Amino acid sequence: MFRMIVTRLIGVFFVLLAVSALVFAFGALIPGDLTSVIVGQEGATEEQFEAVRQKLGLDKPLPVQYVNWLVNALQGDFGTSPITGRTVATDLMQQIPVSIELALLTLLVSTVIGLPAGVIAAVHANKRLDVLIRMSLLFTFSVPIFVIGILLLLVGSRWAPDLFRVSYTPWGEDPVMHIRSMAMPLLTIAFPITAMTMQMTRGAMLEVLHNPYIVTARAVGVREKRIQYLHALRNALPPIVTFIGFQLGILLGGLIVVEQIFSLPGLGRGMLEAINTRDYPMVTATTLVFATAFVIINALVDMLYPLLDPRQRGR
Amino acid sequence: MTVNSTSDPATAALPPRQTRRPQFLDHLMRHKGGAFGLGIMMLFVLLAVFGRLIAPYDPNASDYLSLLAPPSGEHWFGTDELGRDTLSRVIDGSRIAVAVAFLSVSIAMAVGVVIGVIAGYFGGLIDAVLNRSQDVLFAFPTLLLAIILVAVLGPGLFNASLAIAIVYSPRFARMARASTLSIQTSEYLDAARLAGVSTPTILIRHILPNVLPPVIVLAALSMSTAQLAYASLSFLGLGVSPPQADWGSMLSKGRDFITIAPWLVIWPTVALVMLMLAFNVLGDAIRDVLDPSHSGPGKSPETVV
C-alpha cells in the first residue's frame, strides 16, 4: 500500500512537470507578447523594448525562461500583471477562495441530495419514481450548464428578485448578502453534478442489491433502511467516490462558466478576463492552478480507493 | 471507404462492404430514436444550408424602428437590442452549430485514428511517447483546455473547431489503438505481411476497416459533446466574431436583457437543446445499430461541460 502511494506520487510529479511545461508553452504561443503590452504599441524605441525584455528575462532562451518561471511559481511568485499593476499572486489569493467555496458547496449539495436520491431510484428500479428521475436526468445531460444558468436567471428575475442580480459580497462584509449572492451560482452548477452523482449511485447500488448478503440480511430481519444505507451503500461507495474525479473535470469547467454568468470574482472569471486583456502572466498562472488542482485531486481520489475498499489493500 | 477486394487474398476474408451501408441506414431508420434524431438533425442541416433563403430577414440587418420588439406577426421570435430579427439569427446560427459539430469531430477522428493506429501497430517507443503526451492532455479539464487552445490559436470558426478537435482526439486515439492491438496478431495480417503487402497498404486496407466501426460510434456520440463545447466557448466570448449570429453568443448577449426581452434567450436555447438532443439520440441509435453487444442505455455523462 505504501509502495503504491509512492509510485503514484512519482507519477503525479512527472505529470505536473509536463503540465507546467505545456502551460508555459501555451503562454509563449499566445499571439503578441508581454513586452509590447507593457511598453505600448506606439512611439516606443527599440531600446525601450530591449530594456523591458532584459528586466523580465525575456531575452533569454525559452528553456531558461521556463525554468525561471517554474522556480518562481513554486515560490508563489507569478510575476506582476502588466494590466492591473498588481502582482498575480495577490489576485489569485482573492480569486481562489471564491472558486473553492463554490466547488466545495457544490460537492456538498450534490452528495447530500444525489446520494439518497440514487439509493431511492435503485430501490424503486424501473417503477414510476425511478423512470421520472431518469427522465429528468436525460434532460439535464442534454442541457449545458450555461443554459441552466440562463433558465434560472429567467425564472429568478420573475419570481425571486431577491436572488437575482445580487453582486458578489464577501462573507466578511455581510454574511446574509454573501449567501444570497452564492445561491444562484450554486444552484446552477449543483444541478448537473447532483444528477451525475444520482445516476452513478443508482448504477452502483443496483449491482450491489442483488448480492446474497442483502438477501440474507432481509431474511434475518434487518430493517430495510438499514440494509439500503448501511449494507448496500457502503459496498457501492468505492465506484461512486472514484467517479468524483471524473465529475471534477466537469465541475472545474462549470466554475468558469458559472462565474462568468453570475459575475463571481473567482479563478475562472479571472482567467477569461486575463485572456481577453492579454494579461499573459495571469493566463498562465490561472491555467496552472486549475490544472494542478485537477491532477492532485484526481490522484487523491485514486489513493482513497483502497481506504474505502479493503479488498484492494493487499496489492 | 471503398475496398476493392479482387486482387488481394487477405481482404477476401472481410465481409463485402458494398451491401453494408444501405443495410445500416435501414436499421437506423427502424430504430426508435434513430429516425427521430436523424430527422431533427437533417432539419438543422437544411436550415444551415438553405437558411439564408428561408430566413425572413437578413440576420445582420438592423431595424432601428423596432428595437427589442416582442414576438409579433412581423418578427416571429422578436428582435434584439439592435433591431435584428431573432428568428433569422437563430436560423443563421445553425450554420455555425452544424459546421462546428461536423468539422471538429471529423478532425478529431482523423487525427485520433492516425495516431492510434500508428501507436498500436508500431508499438514500442512511438506508442509510449504518444501515450504519455495523451496523459498530459487528459490532465486538463476539457473546457479549460479548449479555452486555452482558443486563446493560443485565436478566435474564429475553424480555430474553435480545431481546439475542440485537439481536446477530443485522445479519445479517438485510445479507441483506434485498442482496436489495432486486438487485430495485430490476427492470421490475415500475417498472411498479408507474408504476401509482401507494404506497410502503408496493410494499415489502410486491413487495419483501418476494422478500426472504423467503433470509432464511428464514438464520433456519433461526440457530436453533441463537440457542439456543446463550442456553445460554451462562444458563450464565453471565444467563438466566431460578433456580427455573425451564433447561439452561444446570442445567449451571452441576451442575458443582459433577460428581464425585458426574454425571447432573446429562449429561442437560441430551444434551438441549442433540440440539436443536442438530436445528436444524443442519434448517437445512441448509431451505437445500438453498429455495436449491438453494448448493453444498457447508460450514456457517458460527459456531455455536460
pLDDT of residue B103: 93
Is there a domain that residue A34 lies in? no
The fold of the B25-66+74-294 domain, in CATH, is MetI-like fold (1.10.3720)
Q: How far is CA B305 from the centre of its chain?
A: 15
pLDDT of residue B108: 93
pLDDT of residue B300: 43
The verdict on a CB contact (< 8 Å) between B255 and A272 is: no
- Give how far A44 is from chain B: nearest CA, Å: 26
Distance (Å, whole) CA A201 – CA A111: 10
Distance (Å, whole) CA B274 – CA B44: 9
* B157, B167 contact by CB (below 8 A): no
Question: How would residue B106 be classed by pLDDT, with cut points 50, 70 and 90?
Answer: very high
| A68-96 pLDDT tens trace | 888 888 888 888 877 777 888 888 888 88
Is there a domain that residue A204 lies in? yes
Taking 50 as the threshold, does the pLDDT of residue B305 lie above it? no
Question: How would residue B292 be classed by pLDDT, with cut points 50, 70 and 90?
Answer: low
Q: Which residue of chain B comes nearest to A291, CA vs CA?
A: B140
Q: Range with the lowest mean pLDDT among A17-21, A53-57, A229-233, B283-287?
A: A53-57
pLDDT of residue A314: 56
Spatial CA neighbour of B79 closest among B255, B270, B254, B273: B254
- Return the C-alpha cell found at A45: 524605441
Amino acid letter, residue B109: M
Distance (Å, whole) CA B32 – CA B284: 11
Is there a domain that residue A207 lies in? yes
- The mean pLDDT of B234-259, rounded to a whole number, is 83
Place of cell 438543422: B44
Spatial CA neighbour of B238 closest among B249, B225, B227, B247: B249
pLDDT of residue B3: 45
Q: Which residue of chain B comes nearest to A297, CA vs CA?
A: B139
- The mean pLDDT of B111-128, rounded to a whole number, is 87
- The mean pLDDT of B9-35, rounded to a whole number, is 62
pLDDT of residue B109: 93
Q: Range with the lowest mean pLDDT among A48-57, A182-191, A295-304?
A: A48-57
B positions 7-66 inside 8 Å of A (CB) = none
A80: β partners: A87
Q: What is the 3-state secondary structure (H, E, C) of chain A?
A: CHHHHHHHHHHHHHHHHHHHHHHHHHHHHCCCCHHHHHHCCCCCCHHHHHHHHHHHCCCCCHHHHHHHHHHHHHCCCCCECCCCCCEHHHHHHHHHHHHHHHHHHHHHHHHHHHHHHHHHHHHCCCCHHHHHHHHHHHHHHHCCHHHHHHHHHHHHHHHCCCCCCCCCCCCCCCHHHHHHHHHHHHHHHHHHHHHHHHHHHHHHHHHHHCCHHHHHHHHHCCCHHHHHHHHHHHHHHHHHHHHHHHHHHHHHHHHHHHHHHCCCCCHHHHHHHHHHHCCHHHHHHHHHHHHHHHHHHHHHHHHHHHHHCHHHCCC
Is there a domain that residue A216 lies in? yes
Q: B79 in helix, strand or coil?
A: strand
Taking 50 as the threshold, does the pLDDT of residue B97 lie above it? yes
Q: Range with the lowest mean pLDDT among B40-54, B66-80, B268-282?
A: B66-80
- The mean pLDDT of B10-16, rounded to a whole number, is 47
Q: Where are the domains of chain B?
A: 25-66+74-294
Domain that holds residue A217: 98-312
pLDDT of residue B296: 45
Is there a domain that residue A124 lies in? yes
Is there a domain that residue A170 lies in? yes
pLDDT of residue B22: 63
Taking 50 as the threshold, does the pLDDT of residue A117 lie above it? yes
Q: Is B131 on the interface with A (CB under 8 A)?
A: no
pLDDT of residue A173: 78
Taking 60 as the threshold, does the pLDDT of residue B297 lie above it? no
Spatial CA neighbour of B250 closest among B47, B101, B79: B79
pLDDT of residue B112: 92
- Give how far A147 is from chain B: nearest CA, Å: 7
Q: Which residue of chain B comes nearest to A14, CA vs CA?
A: B136
- Return the C-alpha cell found at B226: 463537440
Output the average pLDDT for chain A: 81
The verdict on a CB contact (< 8 Å) between B304 and A144 is: yes
Q: What percent of chain B has pLDDT above 90? A: 7
Question: How would residue A42 be classed by pLDDT, with cut points 50, 70 and 90?
Answer: low
Is there a domain that residue A87 lies in? no
The verdict on a CB contact (< 8 Å) between B139 and A18 is: yes
Q: Which residue of chain B comes nearest to A149, CA vs CA?
A: B255
- Return the C-alpha cell found at A93: 489569493
- The mean pLDDT of B262-276, rounded to a whole number, is 86
Distance (Å, whole) CA B279 – CA B286: 10
Place of cell 452528495: A111
pLDDT of residue A313: 65
Out of A15, A31, A287, the one facing B154 most closely (by C-beta) is: A31
Question: How would residue A40 be classed by pLDDT, with cut points 50, 70 and 90?
Answer: low
The verdict on a CB contact (< 8 Å) between A154 and B265 is: yes
Taking 70 as the threshold, does the pLDDT of residue A154 lie above it? yes
* A133, A117 contact by CB (below 8 A): yes
Place of cell 429561442: B267
Output the average pLDDT for chain B: 79
Is there a domain that residue A169 lies in? yes
Taking 80 as the threshold, does the pLDDT of residue A34 lie above it? no
Question: How would residue B2 be classed by pLDDT, with cut points 50, 70 and 90?
Answer: very low
Of residues B124 and B303, the one with the higher pLDDT is: B124
pLDDT of residue B4: 47
Kindly report the pTM of this predicted structure.
Answer: 0.81
Q: In chain B, what residues touch A150 (CB-CB under 8 Å)? A: 251, 254-255, 258, 265, 269
| B70-88 pLDDT tens trace | 777 777 777 777 778 888 8
Distance (Å, whole) CA A304 – CA A313: 11
pLDDT of residue B104: 93
Q: B206 in helix, strand or coil?
A: helix
pLDDT of residue B302: 40
Taking 50 as the threshold, does the pLDDT of residue B303 lie above it? no
DSSP label at residue B202 = I
DSSP H helices in B11-75: 20-30, 32-54
- Give how far B298 is from chain A: nearest CA, Å: 9
Spatial CA neighbour of A246 closest among B296, B164, B138: B138
Question: How would residue B294 be classed by pLDDT, with cut points 50, 70 and 90?
Answer: low
Place of cell 445528436: B279
Of residues A112 and B32, the one with the higher pLDDT is: A112
Q: What percent of chain A has pLDDT above 70? A: 90
Sign, CA torsion B158/B164/B167/B171: negative
Q: What percent of chain B has pLDDT above 70? A: 88
Question: How would residue B290 be classed by pLDDT, with cut points 50, 70 and 90?
Answer: confident
Q: What percent of chain A has pLDDT above 90? A: 1
Let me know the angle formed at the C-alpha of A78 by A74 and A83, rounded to the nearest 5 degrees: 170
Maximum C-alpha span of chain B? 77
DSSP label at residue B85 = B
Taking 80 as the threshold, does the pLDDT of residue B207 lie above it? yes
pLDDT of residue B105: 94
The verdict on a CB contact (< 8 Å) between B299 and A19 is: no
Taking 60 as the threshold, does the pLDDT of residue B166 lie above it? yes
pLDDT of residue B13: 47
CA distances in angstroms from B280 to A145, A189, B167, B285, B290, listed in the order given = 16, 21, 19, 9, 15
Report residue B81: phi and psi, to 5°: -65, -15
Taking 60 as the threshold, does the pLDDT of residue B265 lie above it? yes
Of residues B34 and B3, the one with the higher pLDDT is: B34
The verdict on a CB contact (< 8 Å) between B143 and A257 is: yes
Place of cell 436499421: B27
Spatial CA neighbour of B301 closest among A291, A207, A106, A193: A193
Taking 80 as the threshold, does the pLDDT of residue B15 lie above it? no
CA distances in angstroms from A102 to A144, A156, A178, A203, A305, listed in the order given = 18, 19, 12, 27, 25
Taking 70 as the threshold, does the pLDDT of residue A164 lie above it? no
